[in-house]
Every structure is written in C-alpha cells, then in structure tokens.
Structure 1
Amino acid sequence: METEFIEFYHWVKKNLGLDLFSYKEKQLQRRILTIMKNTTATNLTDYCQLMKTNPEVKYEFLDYITINVTEFFRNPELFRTFESELVSKIAPQFSSLKIWSAACSIGCEPYSVAMLADRNQLSLTSNKIIATDIDQTILTQAKKGVFKDSHLKNVSDTDLKNYFKNEKDDFYISDKIKRKVHFKKHDLLLDRFEKDCHVIICRNVTIYFKSEARDKIYQQFSESLVPGGLFFTGATETIMNPERFGLKKMGTFMYQKIG
C-alpha cells in the first residue's frame, strides 16, 4: 500500500501541481482514503483515472486535501493583538504597507485585514492586500466575496453594518473592501515567494507539513519580509528558536524580522 501511495503522490504532483511528499504521511493518507470513499474508485490507480476524466472529483479532492476551513477574525483575541501591533508598531515605520495573506482560502482572512486597514486608515502598497492560495476553485469563490452567517460570528455589529450587505442567507462584502484585495494562485511548496513585505499572515497551514518543509517555508517567509516586518502565524503554530530564521518573538504567534 505504501508503494501505491508514493506512486499516487507522484501522479498528483505531475498532474495537479500539488506536492504531497511534504505533508505528514499518516494524516494525509487517512484524508486521501476518506475522500476516495466518496467516489466509485476502489484503489488509488482508479482514483487517478477518475480525476483525469471527472473535473468534479478532481476539485473535490483538492478542496478536501488543502483544508479550506476559515472564518472572519479567526481567534478574535489574537486578531485584536495583531491589529494593535500592526497599528502601533508596524505601520508607523513605513509610508505604506505591503501585506500578504498566504493560504487565504475563501478570503475571510484578507478581507478581515482589509477591514481593519480601512477603519485604521492604513496606507496599503498599490492599495491592495495580496491574497494567495493553492486552490483556484477557492480563489474564484473568494473573489465573489459572498459569505454565510457561520463565517461572520466574530464580526462586530459595526463592521457588519459598514462592510456587508445581507440578502436572504448570504452576506456580500462591500466593493470598498473587495477592491483592497488582489487574489492569485500560489503554492507554498513550489512557487516563488513575494518580496519586500511589511506583513505576512499565514495561519493554521504549516501544521500539516513535515518539519523540513515547514522550516523551509518559515525561512522563505522571513526572506520575504523587510527588516522590522511582522509575521502572524496560527494559534496552533509556534516557531521554535525563531532566531534561526532571522525572526524574533513579538507577541503571541507573532514574529518580527530582525533588521
């Protein structure tokens, strides 16, 4: 079975552009077998063939494996600290901010940052926050800016009134906020990283990678930051010895580029 999984990883990397070799094996294999059970495939070879001929099966696999769980202002206490650090310590250093939201899923995170940038009147480089994800289907959804009530549980009444329009069961993000976010496809394992960033947010993603891949990503994020820049990680992610990546601990799950 192990050989079958390795062949499957090679096929996925070649045909879907997703590097599964850097994911934690047991957890990944459980997820693959779980999503495969929703299809007619009885083994990984058949599953590959099914993904070749059925785009819906392919996109369901990508959506499931890349784990698109998100909400606005996820872990609100951490987001409040992030906003405070951003406004009081980071923004005053620079004339404008280049902000990158990596692994942004359906857009809750970059739109959250866009809202706090708007209410604090922060100047954004090119008037945009860069938001990236590996999943093109998810990016298409993010660009629409349409959300359900379950995504909005941490949104204040003021922000809800100022930045959303409610129609039946859907909440539409305002055009003012949509214009502040530029979405594009990006693979943290395979693609080049942004440069000269003042802020990078990548939360609850690296926990799914092996330590070698995780360390490489942290190093690249550090190289993407300007000296004094801020890296905001997830509530399940702590960087041990951040100095080896040219970072220092700034607060809970926040690190600053040493310069």
Structure 2
Amino acid sequence: MTTLNYDYFYNWVQANLNIRLDAYKEKQLNRRIQTVMRQSGALTLEEYSGLIHQDESVKKQFLDYITINVTEFFRNKDLFEKFEELLITDLSKKFDSISIWSAACSIGAEPYSLAMIIDRHSLPLKKSIVATDIDETILKRAKTGKYRENELKNVSLIDRSHYFTQEDGYYAVDSRIKEMVQFRKHDLVLDSFESGLHVIVCRNVTIYFKNEVKEDIYRRMSDALVTGGLLFTGATETIYQPEQYGLKKVSSFIYEKFV
C-alpha cells in the first residue's frame, strides 16, 4: 500500500488554497483526505494535489468534504431557546444596540435563525449580522437562502409562514431576513477578528481543531467581545476553565465575557 505524504499535501494546501490543515485533528482529518482522494481516482497526494489544481470540480469536492457543512435552523433547539431568552432579558437591556458575528456559518441556517430572533423581538441590531465561513461555495448557497424541509424541522409553523415562501420544493427565506445578514469569507485560524462585538455564535466547528488552535480561537473571540457580550458554542463544545479566557458560563454552552 502506498504511503501517503501528508506533510507535502498540508504544505501544498496552505501554499495554494491558504488553508492550514495542521490546525485540525490529524487522524480524523487524514481519514477524510484519504476518502475524498480515492473518490477522485488519485493514488497519491501528489497526484491528488495536481487534480485539485487542474479541475475546479475536484477542488470544490475537496473543500466541501474537508470543511464540515452539517447544520440546520435552530440546531439544538433547547439551547437556542435559552440563548434567545438571554438576548431578550439580558443583552438587549445592557446595550443600546448589538452587533453579532455568526462564525463558521455554513449554509446560512444559523445567521438566518439569529435574524429571525432579532426580528421577532424587535431587538436593536447595530448593523447587519456578519456571517462567515471558509468555504466560498457554501457561502454562495447561503446567500440564496433556499432550504429543504428537513433543514427547517426546528422552525415552527408560524415562523415558516412568516419568514419563508415555498419555491420549487424549497423554502426560501424572506428578503427582509436575508437583508439582515452579510456573508463574508473568513478563516478562523488565519484571519483576524473584528472587535467590539456583543454576540459571537460559533457552533460545532472547534471540535475539529487541535487543542492549542481551539484555545487560541477562544482567546481571540473573547478579545473580540465587549464586556458583557455572549459567546454561544456547539452542544459538544464545553469550554473548560472559561475564566482563563475572561469568560464565565451563564448557561449550557453559553458564556459571558466578564473582563
């Protein structure tokens, strides 16, 4: 069996695609690379990198497979309901207006969920919700705002009728909600973070990073938040000793910056 040259491939991807694969958990990532490489027909990573360079469809498949894009509206509904409660009872009373970043937003279900909460309660949004992801292909899909019914399983019938219209078998997000969200390409590992944020929602992505990378991301997210701001993480992403980042736990997977 051919030994795969992961060092070469990691360096090639960073040089040519500007993605740091060494930030991810190695065993899990390498299994995914092997799978998608074999699907392309390549036998070595040198051959596979050549295919990625030459064929846009191979490049798209690689990026889609390596960057995890599994999500839905109001994912982990009970956690989202608690987060919504904190936005209403706590955050909106502390600040005249709030700025929100939805990091690693995937197909856009999460930032649109946030926009619906903002609209539902007429919360004072400072500017558009900034929604970012590393995958430009998935961002294009997010901007269309069209979803399959299974992706709306946590959306109430009232909200479906209020915020969506049915088009060709899809549910399309109302234009007013779409206008509340601004999508941008952003790499959590390589790119800088904005400052002065009141809410950061970053769910179900840091579990794929190595511990030292994850810790750096949490530290930079805390720096990006104003005192009293909230960080909402995924349902498998407990932050142990949050105080080392200037955060305190206020609910399951929800943290407040206290310094």
Q: Same fold (TM over 0.5)?
A: yes
Q: Secondary structure at the match of 2:118?
A: helix
Q: Secondary structure at the match of 1:97?
A: coil
In the TM superposition, residue 157 of structure 1 has moved relative to its aligned partner by: 0.4
Q: How does 1:181-192 map to 2 (within 5 A)?
A: 181-192=181-192
- 5+ residue gaps, structure 1, are none
In the TM superposition, residue 76 of structure 1 has moved relative to its aligned partner by: 0.3
Q: How does 1:178-257 map to 2 (within 5 A)?
A: 178-257=178-257
Deviations 1:211-255 (A, max 9, x none): 000000000000000000000000000001000001011110000
In the TM superposition, residue 194 of structure 1 has moved relative to its aligned partner by: 1.4
Identify the residue that residue 169 of structure 1 maps to in structure 2: 169
Identify the residue that residue 115 of structure 2 maps to in structure 1: 114
Identify the residue that residue 61 of structure 1 maps to in structure 2: 62
Checking the alignment, whether the CA contact within 8 Å between 2:51 and 2:58 is kept in structure 1 is yes
**Which one-letter code corresponds to 1:77 in the other structure?**
D
Q: Secondary structure at the match of 1:38?
A: helix
In the TM superposition, residue 168 of structure 1 has moved relative to its aligned partner by: 3.2
**Which one-letter code corresponds to 2:154 in the other structure?**
N
**Which one-letter code corresponds to 2:257 in the other structure?**
K
Identify the residue that residue 105 of structure 2 maps to in structure 1: 104
C-alpha change, 1:88 and 1:2, in structure 2 (3 Å) is farther
Q: How does 1:129-148 map to 2 (within 5 A)?
A: 129-148=129-148
Deviations 1:21-68 (A, max 9, x none): 011010000000011111121110000000010011001101110110
Distance in structure 1 (CA, Å) of the matches to 2:3 and 2:249: 39
Q: Secondary structure at the match of 2:107?
A: coil
In the TM superposition, residue 153 of structure 1 has moved relative to its aligned partner by: 0.5
Checking the alignment, whether the CA contact within 8 Å between 2:249 and 2:256 is kept in structure 1 is yes
Distance in structure 1 (CA, Å) of the matches to 2:244 and 2:3: 34
In the TM superposition, residue 2 of structure 1 has moved relative to its aligned partner by: 7.4
Distance in structure 1 (CA, Å) of the matches to 2:58 and 2:194: 31
Query: How many residue pairs end up in the alignment?
Result: 258
Distance in structure 1 (CA, Å) of the matches to 2:117 and 2:7: 44
Identify the residue that residue 159 of structure 2 maps to in structure 1: 159
Distance in structure 1 (CA, Å) of the matches to 2:25 and 2:144: 32
**Which one-letter code corresponds to 1:171 in the other structure?**
Y
Q: What is the TM-score when the length of structure 2 is the normalising length?
A: 0.98
C-alpha change, 1:124 and 1:2, in structure 2 (3 Å) is farther
Report sequence identity in percent. Answer: 53
Identify the residue that residue 125 of structure 1 maps to in structure 2: 126
Q: What is the TM-score when the length of structure 1 is the normalising length?
A: 0.98
Identify the residue that residue 91 of structure 2 maps to in structure 1: 90
Distance in structure 1 (CA, Å) of the matches to 2:190 and 2:137: 19
Identify the residue that residue 44 of structure 1 maps to in structure 2: 45
